[in-house]
Amino acid sequence: MTDPLIISCALVGAELNRAIYPPLPITPVEIGIAAEEAVNAGATIIHLHVRDKEGNPTQSLDVFREASEQIHNRCKCILQYSTGGAVGTPLARRCEPLTLKPEMATLSMGTMNFGAEIYENSEETITTIAHRIRKHGIIPELEIFDYGMLESVNRFLAENIIPKRFHIDFVLGVPGGMAATARNLVMLVDRLERNQSWSVAALGRYQLPLTTQAITMGGHIRVGIEDNIYYRRGELAKSNGQMVARMVRIARELERPVATLDEAREILGF
């Protein structure tokens, strides 16, 4: 029996600015409003990056706290903090928001080219972030950008570096990572242990076909402005909520029920 569909929404990201996407939510209040819209549309997980007053990506503890309060005051959801920050963010700063003890946090499983930049996730970085996640009782979402990162998971498990309970998110289509193709998603999923929860986040024009494929495969999905600013070719998305609502409609057409918050917690092992 296939689990109900968990929809995660990535509201902001670290790469966009308002010159590229004018409706980008930046302030904690705007992020709170965007989260509420996404949750009302059907999302149960909010993947959280935050911005400073100038709109630049930040791992500031105070901004994460304020944005989290705005979200929790407006809606009920699972908050998932990004520990990636932006490319080049120092390790200590990447870890700082974890002291707020969100229910989930990301853990990227390897270093990679990220377009023209290098997204550093050395073994020391992975180990440090994993230790902080474990210390605060947070469920990690292991971010897999390439096949080798998935191969590394068992080694980190054997060395007791990452917790035994985790969720996997395949982030496909990043220049320098694994292409967002149907074949690649099937290959990655075939490598998983039975009953392992997983989702897919695909960039740009690949978001819609790959998330639809994941729904039919029994996986879960991530959508949102962080990954794709277009609703369709040449048409900017109006909001994160619009992206979520489309996936809810598709899931219903495919007769896959969308998870409630309680169901999502049960699936993820809270």
pTM score, two decimals? 0.96
Per-residue pLDDT of the chain (270 residues; tens, 9 = 90+): 689 999 999 999 999 999 999 999 999 999 999 999 999 999 999 999 999 999 999 999 999 999 999 999 999 999 999 999 878 889 999 999 999 999 999 999 999 998 888 999 999 999 999 999 999 999 999 999 999 999 999 999 999 999 999 999 999 999 999 999 999 999 999 999 989 999 999 999 999 999 999 999 999 999 999 999 999 999 999 999 999 999 999 999 999 999 999 999 999 998
Three-state DSSP class for residue 90: coil
Q: In the numeric block, which tokens belong to residue 86? A: 């932006």
Residue 63: how many CA atoms within 13 Å on its side-chain side? 21
Question: What's the distance, CA 103 to chain centroid?
Answer: 13
| Architecture of the domain delimited by 7-268 | Alpha-Beta Barrel (3.20)
